[in-house]
């Protein structure tokens, strides 16, 4: 998954990339909201087909609904053209459909159109207009827009830098369940930037983002658990979380896991596994002089077994990459 950043992360270096920079694509349109039996609309066949990967069917159904001024269908057509799903990729047509969806009040279309402006797609280069669209979509409850807009205010890009407003936007997105926003807000609480410093609140947000799968949050919450910072100290739980994050490729987690296995805190001491994860962490850019010394004191048999295991892990990881 690409993590090409569209903005410089000067204001808060520990934040993850903007939502649109992480994926390089706009999100699918939101599923239709639940309705009561009395007013439940017909099943959204276009969106259902899209979810199942039947893109040609989704295109046909969405075209029919768009002709009836359905904004969600217009946004779905924009997504299909944007990604080249069922139809040839065509940024110009995608932008046209997103624009129609936005004009009909769909916040997902507004967000998607804003992303085109920030990514210079379909000839769109007006970031001021992109920011305006994010503002409008955020007011309509689009959590991704609230998060990305929060990053702009955090960094002072396209808008005046305003930590308090950034925190408020992150809070809105975090309450809607956006794990990136939960992680960003946790970092602000941890540093006391834009909000009062509150390590307990930071730990709670990190826990939520961690459960949702945010890798950076997993590592930060594991560190908090291990040290008892803002949350109950629990080395065993922290070790398991470090292991989970290490297996997902976090070099920091791999290094912390190696230290845990070296010291036998949270997990039983295991020199071979400690050396293995140290090798893997170094490959990912996380050096550790203390572990280098530990490795030098191990027997040749331990070092050989660890290196073999590390090579196997790294080769498997390489094979899984697209």
pTM over cut 0.95: no
C-alpha to C-alpha distance for 244 and 235, rounded to whole angstroms:
14
- Compute the distance between CA of residue 134 and CA of residue 165 in angstroms, rounded to an integer: 14
Report CA torsion sign: 193, 199, 205, 206.
positive
Residue-level pLDDT at 322: 54
Q: Averaged in consecutive runs of 10 residues, what is the pLDDT profile of the chain (322 residues)?
A: 27 32 36 34 74 94 94 95 96 96 96 94 92 96 96 95 97 96 97 97 98 97 98 98 97 98 97 98 95 97 97 79 56
| Contact yes or no for 198/210 (Cβ under 8 A) | no
Q: Which two tokens stand for residue 224?
A: 């908090």
d(CA 47, CA 223): 41
- Output the CA torsion sign for 255, 260, 262, 268: negative
Task: Give residue 246's pLDDT.
Answer: 97
Give residue limits of the domains in the chain: 234-322
pLDDT at position 7: 27
Question: Looking up tokens 């697209």, which residue turns up?
Answer: 322
What is the distance between the alpha carbons of residues 159 and 134, in angstroms, rounded to a whole number?
12
């Amino acid at each position: 998954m690409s993590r090409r950043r569209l903005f410089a992360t000067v204001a808060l270096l520990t934040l993850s990339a903007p939502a649109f920079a992480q994926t390089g694509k706009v999100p699918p349109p939101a599923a239709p909201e639940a309705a009561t039996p009395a007013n439940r609309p017909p099943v959204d066949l276009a969106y259902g087909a899209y979810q199942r990967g039947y893109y040609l069917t989704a295109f046909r159904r969405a075209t029919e609904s768009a002709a009836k001024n359905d904004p969600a269908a217009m946004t779905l057509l924009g997504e299909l053209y944007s990604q080249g799903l069922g139809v040839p990729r065509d940024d110009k047509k995608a932008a046209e459909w997103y624009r129609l969806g936005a004009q009909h009040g769909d916040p997902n279309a507004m967000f998607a159109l804003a992303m085109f402006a920030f990514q210079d797609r379909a000839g769109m280069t007006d970031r001021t207009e992109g920011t305006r669209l994010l503002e409008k979509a955020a007011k309509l409850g689009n959590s991704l827009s609230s998060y990305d807009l929060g990053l702009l205010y955090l960094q002072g890009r396209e808008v005046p830098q305003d930590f308090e407003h950034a925190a408020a936007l992150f809070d809105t997105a975090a309450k809607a369940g956006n794990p990136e926003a939960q992680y960003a807000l946790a970092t602000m609480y941890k540093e006391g930037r834009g909000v009062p410093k509150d390590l307990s609140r930071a730990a709670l947000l990190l826990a939520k983002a961690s459960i949702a799968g945010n890798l950076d949050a997993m590592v930060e919450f594991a560190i908090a658990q291990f040290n008892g910072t803002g949350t109950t100290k629990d080395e065993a739980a922290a070790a398991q979380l470090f292991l989970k994050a290490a297996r997902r490729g976090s070099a920091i987690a791999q290094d912390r896991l190696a230290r845990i296995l070296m010291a036998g805190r949270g997990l039983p001491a295991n020199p071979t596994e400690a050396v293995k994860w140290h090798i893997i962490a170094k490959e990912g850019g996380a050096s550790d002089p203390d572990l280098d010394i530990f490795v030098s004191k191990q027997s040749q048999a331990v070092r050989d077994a660890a290196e073999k295991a590390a090579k196997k892990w790294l080769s498997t990881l390489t094979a899984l990459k697209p």
